[in-house]
């Protein structure tokens, strides 16, 4: 039996929507029969990506965040997009402890956390045009 599914969610960059995105992705991923630990990993990675979009993508305005996900066999693809201010230097942003907001008590560990919980993380961004975070998690095939 094929295990394929897709979803797309758009929401405003309000901090309360971070919990909403976590819940939605957890429910969507249930189609892969994940462990509690795998659900926690996915929720944490999405939380970090959405929080980055809220805090850094739209620092002084409200914008739209898109959460897309696709189940393709035993692989979960998760994409988080914003059309906010973008990242000036992606290489710097991907470094552990790098933050553009040290006065806001930001740890600079968002991308590092995403990478630790997902099998692949890729980031694309253009200054003034927004950021796209692509994540992938592989699950064991049911026997």
User: What residues are labeled active site?
Assistant: 48, 52, 106
The strand order across the sheet containing 120-126 reads 4-12, 64-72, 75-82, 130-138, 120-126
Compute the distance between CA of residue 94 and CA of residue 47 in angstroms, rounded to an integer.
16
Q: What is the CA radius of gyration of the chain?
A: 15
The CA–CA distances, whole Å, from 4 to 32, 41, 76, 77 equal 10, 21, 10, 11
DSSP 110: H
Distances (CA, A) of 103 to 16, 62, 107: 22, 21, 10
């Amino acid at each position: 039996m094929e295990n394929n599914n897709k979803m797309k969610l758009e929401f405003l960059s309000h901090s309360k929507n971070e919990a909403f995105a976590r819940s939605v992705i957890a429910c969507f991923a249930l189609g892969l029969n994940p462990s509690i630990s795998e659900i926690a990993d996915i929720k944490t990675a999405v939380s970090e990506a959405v929080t980055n979009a809220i805090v850094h993508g739209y620092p002084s305005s409200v914008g739209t965040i898109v959460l897309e996900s696709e189940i393709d066999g035993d692989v979960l693809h998760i994409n988080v997009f914003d059309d906010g201010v973008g990242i000036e230097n992606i290489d710097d942003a991907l470094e552990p402890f790098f933050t553009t907001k040290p006065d806001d008590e930001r740890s600079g560990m968002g991308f590092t956390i995403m990478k630790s919980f997902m099998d692949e993380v890729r980031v694309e961004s253009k200054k003034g045009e927004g950021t796209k975070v692509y994540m992938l998690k592989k699950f064991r095939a049911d026997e």
